[in-house]
Amino acid sequence: MSGSEYRDVVRLENIQMHYGNVQALSDINFAVGRNEIVGLIGDNGAGKSTLIKIMTGVERPTAGNLYIRDKKVDWEGYSVGRAHELRFETVYQEKSLGEKQPLWRNFFVGRQITNRLGFIKVKQQKQIANDVLLNQIGFRGAGIDADSPVAQLSGGERQGVAIGRAMHFDSDLIVLDEPTVALAITEVRKVLDFVRGIKESGRACVYIEHNLAHVHELADRLVVLDRGRVVREIHKGEMSLAELTSALIDLQHAKVETAEAGS
């Protein structure tokens, strides 16, 4: 992690995003502090994924500014690769791991450790992968090590490998877009523990999640998006889960009423 001083690992200012006639994001101001876990919540189509795509260099916004570690970044030079270099890691739900390969290979995809002749240092890579699996993300007792094939892992464990990889590569910010979607309950628990590990390791995280109980438990701050706008921010401890749930239901009702008034 970076030793330099900064307040926000990432900050987006006045972001607008149009897809043709669709205004996916309007006037978004969104920041993530160092070692802060921010839960991003909101209905389907609220703009959550669009926001993190802009943050991680997948998409360029129609307008707005980006600051990384408090320094303004030019969109021209910003890309997924550049975000990587700036130590942002994104974990995607879908198919991020190669099924037939052993874990350690997946761990080092695109970032092989090689010697001067370009040969891959297999032993060293296995050792690192094992260390991260056992000590950093706590794959204890599961009988899984760097040689296990990915096909043998449960959905939650796969997410764990992806998160462990992100942690190993010296990331300051880890972005998770619904990491628990389509997982069994026992698997979800594992992923929540991995997210806790991100916090404990001193990194920051943006965590998109539909399950309110999960983000309420883990996030230092919740940001609620609604139809492309930030409509609410809630700090840890400010609301119980029941209060949060009812606040979001109230928001829904207000939305239905405005829609009816407008029709």
Among residues 35, 49, 62, 79, the one that binds Mg ion under rule CB under 5 A: 49
Pick from Mg ion, ligand ATP, none: which does 64 bind, CB < 5 to 8 A by kind? Answer: none
- Binding letters toward ligand ATP, positions 20-49, x by CB under 6 A: --x-x-----------------x-xxxxxx
Q: How far is the CB of 135 from ligand ATP (least distance, A)?
A: 33
Q: What distance in Å separates the CA atoms of residue 73 and residue 103, rounded to the nearest whole number?
A: 35
Q: How far is CA 160 from the centre of its chain?
A: 13
Q: How far is the CB of 219 from ligand ATP (least distance, A)?
A: 16
Q: Under the criterion CB under 5 A, does residue 101 sit at the interface with Mg ion?
A: no
Q: How far is the CB of 43 from ligand ATP (least distance, A)?
A: 7
Query: Which of residues 78 and 107 has its CB atom nearest to ligand ATP in the complex?
Result: 78
Query: Which of residues 55 and 174 has its CB atom nearest to ligand ATP in the complex?
Result: 55
Q: What distance in Å separates the CA atoms of residue 64 and residue 42, rounded to the nearest whole number?
A: 21
At CA 45, angle to CA 44 and CA 46, rounded to 5? Answer: 95
Q: What distance in Å separates the CA atoms of residue 18 and residue 197, rounded to the nearest whole number?
A: 36
Pick from Mg ion, ligand ATP, none: which does 164 bind, CB < 5 to 8 A by kind? Answer: none
Q: How far is the CB of 48 from Mg ion (least distance, A)?
A: 5
Residues of this chain that bind ligand ATP (CB under 6 A): 19, 22, 24, 42, 44-50
Residues of this chain that bind Mg ion (CB under 5 A): 49
